[in-house]
Amino acid sequence: MQLITKLMGGKVIRAKQREYGYATLQLVKPHVLFEGVEDHSPIWMSHGDSIGVMGNGLWVMGETDKKVVSAIANDEKRIYALQFHPEVHHTKCGMQILKNFLFKIAGVEPQWNMRDFISYECQHIRETVGRDHVILGLSGGVDSSVAAVLLNQAIGKQLTCLFINNGLLRFGEEKYVQTIFKKHYQIKLKYIDASHEFLKALKGVSDPERKRKIIGKTFIDVFTREAKKIKGAKYLAQGTLYPDVIESQSFKGPSAVIKSHHNVGGLPKKMGLKLIEPLRELFKDEVRELGRQLGMPDEIIMRHPFPGPGLGVRILGAVTKEKVRILQLADHIAIDEIKKAGWYSKIWQALVVLLPVKSVGVMGDERTYENVAALRCVDSVDGMTADFVHLPQDLLSKISTRIINEVKGINRVVYDISSKPPATIEWE
């Protein structure tokens, strides 16, 4: 909207007050774009600039409760722009606005569906790969799991999954992944325990971006070494999603890099593999729907998101084997209690972060000086925006009590009540 304003002779200024999170849409003038949209609908904002002078031929369709221009149009040139994000779950009227634009203004027909996506993508994979072999880095998370099953449907025995234990996995993850994919799906799976290699490379590193890049580089080094052992391997498949791309680089526009994702940084030439990313332009909710269409159980497709760098970005500061042990157990306890209480399926993502902070406590007659853990539970649909979840106090109490009593090294648990934006879901 700001670029359109500037190109049409208007002026964009630094806003006196930035808007991140919820705002209210006030409709200034009726328009087909807002048919079926109630006045004062909640919308999701994320901007620090605003329109100072309107561009030539543009007029205001809507503004926020703070009188900030949030929707403009030029019907003659068929130009429409919004300041807020209609594509995210937290803009309640967003889907209606997008439908109005697509079907009433642009005149397109709703022909796309997930079954068509599966047919198209499988055909595309077969045509791309030919008779060559594909390697997939399987983590056990939703994205790589769905990618594995999709690729298996497309090319079968031409796929080999490498499951690399980077020493930063969830509690018991190595056994879980091998049981599900080796035995249940009968996908060719090779397990590599490279935990010592990763932890050695991370020794003494505290900067989150450096940690991500080290984990990414080490992953590629291990992957390259193991890939050379697989005959006929010409392609590397990854479960990259669209939000990963947006946060890592400017995909189709000048958005800022928020954080590095080690699976979207490109492949070094020495790896000798071409890249396949069948989920690259899908959001998480679409990936889950894809999993359902592929016949995958909720146990897999409804697992909470887990970052590619693993617990390395949930341990703030330097990573050690002992800190990983502490966090694995604390995270396992939190998820266990959330599942017992029937809240797991109601939450987009639940996680525990180990903070680089120690606090004084008292356990029995002894003084303790141990780590602080932060519990974060958020509600979202696509991961682009998120609100913290109002967990019942008795559940929070159970989680805190169990972590403090059962995890040696933690004596205090806090709850994160930040939304995205301005905070990200993960702490690093």
DSSP 178-203: HIIIIIIS---EEEEE-HHHHHHHHT
Dist CA 187 CA 7 (whole Å): 53
C-beta of residue 79 within 8 angstroms of C-beta of residue 119? no
Residue 197 to residue 194: CA distance in whole angstroms: 5
pLDDT at 256 over 80: no
Residue 264: band (very low, low, confident or very high) from pLDDT cuts 50, 70, 90:
very low
Which of the four CATH numbers 2.70.70.10, 3.40.50.620, 3.10.20.30, 3.90.226.10 does domain 114-302 have?
A: 3.40.50.620
Within 93-144, strands assigned E span 133-137
- Given a cut of 70, is residue 35 above it in pLDDT? yes
Under CATH, which architecture does the 1-105 domain have?
3-Layer(aba) Sandwich (3.40)
Is residue 268 very low, low, confident or very high in pLDDT (cuts 50, 70, 90)? Answer: low
Query: What's the rounded Cα separation, in Å, for the pair 199 and 311?
Result: 11
Confidence of residue 252 (pLDDT cuts 50, 70, 90): very low
Check whether 267 has a pLDDT greater than 90: no
pLDDT tens, residue by residue, 187-205? 999 999 999 999 999 999 9
**Domain 1-105 shares a fold with domain 321-415:** no
Look at the alpha carbons of 366, 367, 372, 376 in this order and tell me if their dihedral is positive or negative. positive
State the pLDDT at residue 363. Answer: 77
Which of 43-47, 129-133, 290-294, 368-372 has the lowest average pLDDT? 43-47
Structure token digits, residue 33: 């774009």
| Amino acid at residue number 106 | A
DSSP label at 269?
G
253 pLDDT exceeds 70?
no
Dihedral sign from CA coordinates of 288, 86, 65, 3 = positive
Question: What is the reported pLDDT for 372?
Answer: 97
pLDDT reported for residue 248: 57
With a cut of 60, say whether residue 178 has pLDDT above it: yes
Q: Give the pair of three-digit tokens for residue 139.
A: 């983590």
Least confident of 165-169, 257-261, 289-293: 257-261
Selection from 399, 216, 382 nearest residue 312 by Cα: 216
pLDDT at residue number 240:
87
Cβ atoms < 10 Å from Cβ of 242: 19
- 214-218, 335-339, 396-400: least confident range: 214-218
Exposure on the CB side of residue 408, measured as CA atoms within 13 A: 1
CA of residue 20 relative to chain centroid, distance: 19
Mean pLDDT, to the nearest integer, of 401-425? 95
- Whether pTM exceeds 0.75: no
Q: Give the side-chain half-sphere CA count within 13 A for 277.
A: 15
Question: How large is the average pLDDT for residues 281-308?
Answer: 91
Share of residues in the chain with pLDDT > 90 (%): 68
Give the pLDDT confidence score for residue 162 in this predicted structure.
Answer: 94
pLDDT interval class at 261 (50, 70, 90): very low
Q: Is residue 375 helix, strand or coil?
A: strand
The predicted model gives 219-234 an average pLDDT of: 88
- pLDDT, position 397: 98
Confidence of residue 265 (pLDDT cuts 50, 70, 90): very low
Section 298-325 average pLDDT: 94
Alpha carbon dihedral 389, 66, 4, 81, in 10-degree steps, equals 60
Q: Is 9 helix (H, G, I), strand (E, B) or coil?
A: coil
Mean pLDDT, all residues of the chain: 90
Residue range 82-101: average pLDDT? 91
The β-bridge partners of 13 are: 50
The whole-number pLDDT of residue 375 equals 98
- Pick from 281, 282, 278: which is nearest to 155 by CA? 278
Query: Could you tell me which residue, 332 or 258, shows the higher pLDDT?
Result: 332
Is pLDDT at 102 greater than 90 in this prediction? yes
Task: Give the whole-angstrom CA distance, residue 70 versus residue 64.
Answer: 6
- In this prediction, residues 263-279 reach a mean pLDDT of 71
Domain extents in the chain: 1-105, 114-302, 321-415
**According to the model, what pLDDT value does residue 365 have?**
73
The pLDDT confidence band at residue 286, using thresholds 50, 70 and 90, is very high
What is the topology classification, in CATH, of domain 321-415? GMP Synthetase; Chain A, domain 3 (3.30.300)
Pairing, β 366-379 against β 410-415: parallel
CA distances from 109 to 56, 75, 81 (A): 32, 21, 21
Q: Are 51 and 75 contacting, i.e. CB atoms less than 8 angstroms apart?
A: no
